[in-house]
Amino acid sequence: MEQYFRLLTLLHAKGVVLKLRRGKTKSILDASIDSALLAVEIYNKPRTTFRSEGFITMMIIAWTRLFHAHFNATMGDKYYYKKKNGHYDVVDGDKKAWELATCIKKYNVLEKSVESNLLFFIKLRNKIEHRHIEKREVDTLIFGECQSFLYNYENHLIKFFGNTYSINEALVYSLQFSQIRTTQQEKSNKSALSKDLAEVVTFVQKYRNGLDENIFNSQEYSIKLIQIPKISNTNRADAAIEFVRWDTLSEEDKAAYEQLNVIIKDKTVKVEGVNVRRLKPSEVVKTVNEKQNALSLTQNLHVVLYKLFDIRPPNGAEDPFETQAEYCLYDETHNDYVYQDAWVDFLVHFMTTTAFSAKELRKMGANNEKLKVSEHCM
């Protein structure tokens, strides 16, 4: 592995790209490129309901195979998991190749903004693959990240193997932003969000808020676009809207556009007060006891109750974001959980109506029993 990193450093310093002949590396690279092209095709299909899911899946495959091709060309057939005894980890008779997250760690020289973009999609895929989401809101929400996901792939494809393998011309167009929504439309749609979709939206917002300002604003993490109403007195068939990357404009053009009311700079605004109206466990206990006196809530009983109703995962869980977002959210910055007003309201109702004593609830918790929130709501 040390030999690989010395070779990698030398190649980058000299700007050397790898020339391929027929063989395993080229086969892996061809599969990577095919996956990327299929990802774009899926995204740009007009009737695709949740295009992002298919796009993310195929782009993760494309990125993983791109790294495998690079590793195979630079250090040989060594990008597989090994057990502690030194033997390869075998699944269904085949050696288990490094997944994308492992490839990122092993490569170890990605720009932070590119790495943040890749890790965003690895985590997001885990959030959406077990959820049934038919809405288009997520497609719109992560459009900028999707653009960067694709453009970063193209840039590293050229960086590893040269312009010969560029897919830019084959793409014809980048990802198509098919829907233009007004603020009023967005508000009405949010009121109809399903629980699964709300949890995904919460994850996206939390991930963005946890990023360094420079990474968040970089084009490698998320491409920011402005939409320009297009005025044409020559051809009435021209498109009414033109999308322009803000970072490609000259300073003179930016200044001119800023003076026009017809320019809308499409940028996600980070919310600094992330935990406004969010409660710590001690605050939940205090507020619940102030609102009811049927059953005293202690810190210990609160732990029992959030486990019984399964509103958040246990400490150290693989996916700490797997919460019931209506009641509880994971605070990545502080590595802990905060609770919603709805959780307080639920506990007040539950403790004033339940037939269970505190002792019985603790016994149920010790036996890893579960209760359904829906069966104890107001």
Which tens digit of pLDDT belongs to each residue from 30-85?
A: 999 999 999 988 888 766 666 788 899 999 999 999 999 999 988 888 899 998 88
Average pLDDT for residues 312-340, to the nearest whole number?
Answer: 85
pTM, whole model, 2 decimals? 0.58
Q: What is the DSSP string of 88-131?
A: BPEETTEE-BPPHHHHHHHH----HHHHHHHHHHHHHHHHHTTS
pLDDT at residue 150 greater than cutoff 70: yes
Which tens digits make up the pLDDT trace of 176-185? 544 444 444 4
Q: Is 205 exposed, middle or buried (0-12, 13-18, 19+ CB in 10 A)?
A: middle
Average pLDDT for residues 261-268, to the nearest whole number?
Answer: 40
Report the candidate in 275, 277, 301, 276 with the shortest Cα–Cα distance to residue 288: 301
pLDDT at residue 169 greater than cutoff 80: no
Percent with pLDDT over 70 in the chain = 69
- Which residues, including other chains, have CB under 8 Å from residue 114's CB and lie 6 or more apart? 152, 156, 220, 221
Q: How far is CA 186 from CA 179, 180, 231, in A?
A: 12, 10, 26
Q: Count how many residues are written for the chain.
A: 378
Which tens digits make up the pLDDT trace of 87-128? 889 888 889 999 999 999 999 899 999 999 999 999 998 887
DSSP 80: B
Q: Model confidence at 325, in pLDDT bands (50, 70, 90)?
A: confident
Which tens digits make up the pLDDT trace of 101-111? 999 999 989 99
pLDDT at residue 194 greater than cutoff 70: no
* For the chain, domain boundaries: 2-179, 225-266, 281-375
pLDDT at 240: 44
Report the C-alpha gap between 68 and 76 in whole angstroms.
Answer: 10
Average pLDDT for residues 146-162, to the nearest whole number?
Answer: 91
- Highest mean pLDDT: which of 13-27, 325-339, 356-370? 356-370
pLDDT at 91: 86
pLDDT at residue 261 greater than cutoff 50: no
More confident position, 92 or 135: 92
pLDDT at 179: 43
Average pLDDT for residues 187-207, to the nearest whole number?
Answer: 66
pLDDT at 246: 56
Query: Which amino acid, 86?
Result: G
Report the candidate in 310, 312, 319 with the shortest Cα–Cα distance to residue 364: 310
More confident position, 20 or 238: 20
Place of tokens 């011309």: 169
pLDDT at 180: 40
Indicate the average pLDDT of the chain.
78
Average pLDDT for residues 276-297, to the nearest whole number?
Answer: 90
Return the minimum-mean-pLDDT range out of 11-15, 53-57, 245-249, 282-286.
11-15
Average pLDDT for residues 20-24, to the nearest whole number?
Answer: 65
Can you read off the two tokens belonging to residue 161? Answer: 């193997």
pLDDT at 162: 87
Q: Model confidence at 259, in pLDDT bands (50, 70, 90)?
A: low
pLDDT at residue 290 greater than cutoff 70: yes
pLDDT at residue 192 greater than cutoff 50: no
pLDDT at 262: 41
